[in-house]
Structure 1
Amino acid sequence: MSAILTKLRNVLVPAETKKSDDGRDQWPSRTAFLLASLGGAVGQGNIIRYPSQVFNNVGLQWFIPYLMAIFLLAIPTLILEVAIGQAYRGGAVAAYNNMNRRLRGVGLASIMVSAVVVVYFVIILVWIMTYFRHSFTSPLPWTDRTEEFYYTQVLRQVDPTPGVISPNGVESFFSYSGMGLIGEAVGWSAFIWFCVYLCMFNGVGITGRAAYFTMALPIFMTIILLGRCCSLENAGRGIKLYFATWDSDSIASGQLWQTATGQVFFSTGVGFGYYIAYASYNSKWANAVQDATIIVCSNCLFETIAAFAVFGVVGYLDINPSNTPRLGAFEIGFLTYPAAIAAMPGANFWAVLFFLTLMLLGISSTYPMLDVIVTAIMDRYHHKVARPLVAAVLVVVAFLISLMYCTQFGYYLLDGVDRWINNLALVFVVWSELSLSTTVYRFKDVFTETGKPAWTIYNGGYFLGQILGVAVGHSVSGGAGAGLGIGIYVLGAVISVFLCKTPSAPAPRFWNNNAYLKRFWFLAFYSGNQLRRDLNVIVGSGKNWNIPVFWSPLIRYVSAPILFIVYSLAYPEFWTLRNDPVYVFGFILAHFCLIFAVVALVLPRYYDVFVPMHRLDDGKRIAAPGVLENLIVGQAEDAAEAGSRSPKSSDDELKGEKP
Structure 2
Amino acid sequence: MDNRPQWGTRAGFVLAAIGSAVGLGNIWRFPAVAYENGGGAFFLPYLFALLTAGIPLLILEFTIGQKYRGSAPLSYARLSKKYEWLGWWQVAISFVIATYYAVIIAWAMSFAVFSFNLKWGDDPTSFLVGDYLQLAAPGEFGGIVPGVFIPLVIVWIITLGILFKGVKKGIEIANKIFIPALVILFLIIVIRSITLDGAVAGLEAFFKPDWSQIASGKVWVAAYGQIFFSLSIAFAIMVTYSSYLPKKTDLTNNAFITGFANSSVELLAGIGVFAALGFMASQAGVPVSEVVKGGVGLAFMVFPQIINEMPALNGLFGSIFFICLVLAGLSSLISIVETFVAGVEDKFKISRTKAVLYGGGLSALISLVYATRGGLNFLDAADYFINQFGVALAGLVEVIIVVWVLRELNNLQNHANSMSDIRLGGWWKICLGFITPIVLGYMMIQNIYINIKENYEGYPTSFLLYSGWGVAVLAIILGFVFMAIKWNKGTELEVPKDKGVSQ
- Give me the TM-score of the superposition, normalised by structure 2: 0.91
C-alpha contact 2:341 2:360 (8 A) present in aligned 1: no
Residue identity opposite 1:157 in structure 2: L
Give 1:594 shift.
3.8
* Inter-partner Cα distance in structure 2 for 1:306 and 1:323: 18
C-alpha contact 1:197 1:395 (8 A) present in aligned 2: yes
* Inter-partner Cα distance in structure 1 for 2:275 and 2:152: 32
Give 1:553 shift.
3.2
Q: Hey, which of these two has a bigger chunk of helix by percent?
A: 2
Structure 1, 176-185 or 328-337: larger mean CA deviation: 176-185
Residues 331, 634 of structure 1: CA spacing in aligned structure 2 closer, same or farther, 3 A cutoff? Answer: closer
Residue identity opposite 2:333 in structure 1: T
Residue 563 in 1 paired to residue 444 in 2? no
State the partner residue of 2:394: 429
Give 1:398 shift.
1.6
State the partner residue of 1:165: none
C-alpha contact 1:106 1:433 (8 A) present in aligned 2: yes
* Inter-partner Cα distance in structure 2 for 1:611 and 1:274: 21
Structure 1 residues 439-458: aligned runs within 5 Å: 439-441=404-406
Give 1:366 shift.
0.3
Cα distance per residue 1:407-453 (max 9 Å; x no partner): 11111111111111001111111111111111232xxxxxxxxxxxx
Give 1:529 shift.
4.3
- Counterpart of 1:545 (choices 422, 433, 458) is 422
Residue identity opposite 1:269 in structure 2: S
Aligned partner of residue 136 in structure 1, secondary structure: helix
C-alpha contact 2:32 2:294 (8 A) present in aligned 1: yes
Structure 1 residues 518-557: aligned runs within 5 Å: 527-533=407-413, 536-537=414-415, 539-542=416-419, 544-557=421-434
Residues 208, 91 of structure 1: CA spacing in aligned structure 2 closer, same or farther, 3 A cutoff? Answer: same
Structure 1 residues 630-649: aligned runs within 5 Å: none
Give 1:254 shift.
3.0
Structure 1 residues 474-485: aligned runs within 5 Å: none
C-alpha contact 2:347 2:491 (8 A) present in aligned 1: no
Give 1:583 shift.
1.9
* Inter-partner Cα distance in structure 2 for 1:428 and 1:118: 18
Residue 210 in 1 paired to residue 174 in 2? yes
Gaps of at least 5 residues in structure 1 are: 1-20, 161-174, 442-526, 601-605, 620-629, 636-659
Structure 1 residues 623-634: aligned runs within 5 Å: none
State the partner residue of 2:461: 580
Residue 351 in 1 paired to residue 351 in 2? no
The percent of aligned pairs where both chains have the same amino acid is 26
Cα distance per residue 1:294-335 (max 9 Å; x no partner): 111110111112210111012111278775276231121112
- Counterpart of 2:366 (choices 401, 404, 423) is 401
State the partner residue of 2:34: 54
C-alpha contact 1:78 1:270 (8 A) present in aligned 2: yes
State the partner residue of 2:186: 222
Residue identity opposite 1:255 in structure 2: K
C-alpha contact 1:86 1:281 (8 A) present in aligned 2: yes
Give 1:531 shift.
2.6
Cα distance per residue 1:529-587 (max 9 Å; x no partner): 43334xx34x3335643332332232121111211111122212333227333322211
- Counterpart of 2:346 (choices 374, 379, 384) is 379
State the partner residue of 1:591: 473
Cα distance per residue 1:167-187 (max 9 Å; x no partner): xxxxxxxx6455221112111
Structure 1, 21-30 or 372-381: larger mean CA deviation: 21-30
State the partner residue of 1:157: 135
Residues 561, 321 of structure 1: CA spacing in aligned structure 2 closer, same or farther, 3 A cutoff? Answer: farther
Higher relative contact order (CA 8 A, sep 6+): 2
Residue identity opposite 1:69 in structure 2: A
* Inter-partner Cα distance in structure 1 for 2:78 and 2:65: 10
C-alpha contact 1:157 1:178 (8 A) present in aligned 2: no
Aligned partner of residue 426 in structure 2, secondary structure: coil
Give 1:143 shift.
3.8
* Inter-partner Cα distance in structure 2 for 1:331 and 1:543: 42
Give 1:611 shift.
4.3
Residues 615, 141 of structure 1: CA spacing in aligned structure 2 closer, same or farther, 3 A cutoff? Answer: closer
Residue 104 in 1 paired to residue 70 in 2? no
* Inter-partner Cα distance in structure 1 for 2:348 and 2:289: 58
Quick check: which has more Rg, 1 or 2?
Answer: 1
Structure 1 residues 231-250: aligned runs within 5 Å: 231-243=195-207, 245-250=208-213
Cα distance per residue 1:138-191 (max 9 Å; x no partner): xx1224212121211222213x3xxxxxxxxxxxxxx64552211121111111
* Inter-partner Cα distance in structure 2 for 1:277 and 1:177: 36
Gaps of at least 5 residues in structure 2 are: none
* Inter-partner Cα distance in structure 1 for 2:139 and 2:319: 34
Residue identity opposite 1:555 in structure 2: L
State the partner residue of 1:180: 143
Residues 261, 277 of structure 1: CA spacing in aligned structure 2 closer, same or farther, 3 A cutoff? Answer: same
Structure 1 residues 189-204: aligned runs within 5 Å: 189-204=152-167
State the partner residue of 1:469: none
C-alpha contact 2:392 2:440 (8 A) present in aligned 1: yes
State the partner residue of 1:342: 308
Residue identity opposite 1:340 in structure 2: I
* Inter-partner Cα distance in structure 1 for 2:61 and 2:487: 18
Aligned partner of residue 425 in structure 2, secondary structure: coil
Give 1:610 shift.
5.9
* Inter-partner Cα distance in structure 2 for 1:47 and 1:282: 29
Residue 144 in 1 paired to residue 122 in 2? yes
State the partner residue of 1:271: 234
Residues 542, 77 of structure 1: CA spacing in aligned structure 2 closer, same or farther, 3 A cutoff? Answer: closer
Residue 294 in 1 paired to residue 257 in 2? yes
* Inter-partner Cα distance in structure 1 for 2:498 and 2:224: 43
Residue identity opposite 1:568 in structure 2: I
* Inter-partner Cα distance in structure 2 for 1:617 and 1:218: 39
* Inter-partner Cα distance in structure 2 for 1:587 and 1:23: 40
Residues 178, 549 of structure 1: CA spacing in aligned structure 2 closer, same or farther, 3 A cutoff? Answer: closer
Residue identity opposite 2:217 in structure 1: G
State the partner residue of 2:290: 324
Give 1:343 shift.
1.6
Aligned partner of residue 408 in structure 1, secondary structure: coil
C-alpha contact 1:120 1:405 (8 A) present in aligned 2: yes
* Inter-partner Cα distance in structure 2 for 1:417 and 1:176: 12
* Inter-partner Cα distance in structure 2 for 1:528 and 1:553: 14
Residue 363 in 1 paired to residue 330 in 2? yes
Aligned residues: 489
Give 1:608 shift.
5.4
State the partner residue of 1:10: none
C-alpha contact 2:112 2:322 (8 A) present in aligned 1: yes
Cα distance per residue 1:331-377 (max 9 Å; x no partner): 21112222111222111111111111111111111011110011112
* Inter-partner Cα distance in structure 1 for 2:39 and 2:383: 28
Aligned partner of residue 116 in structure 2, secondary structure: coil
Residue identity opposite 2:465 in structure 1: V
Aligned partner of residue 318 in structure 1, secondary structure: helix
Residues 77, 389 of structure 1: CA spacing in aligned structure 2 closer, same or farther, 3 A cutoff? Answer: same
C-alpha contact 1:55 1:327 (8 A) present in aligned 2: no
State the partner residue of 1:30: 10
C-alpha contact 1:341 1:351 (8 A) present in aligned 2: yes
Residue identity opposite 2:297 in structure 1: E
C-alpha contact 2:30 2:226 (8 A) present in aligned 1: yes
Give 1:528 shift.
4.3
Aligned partner of residue 550 in structure 1, secondary structure: helix
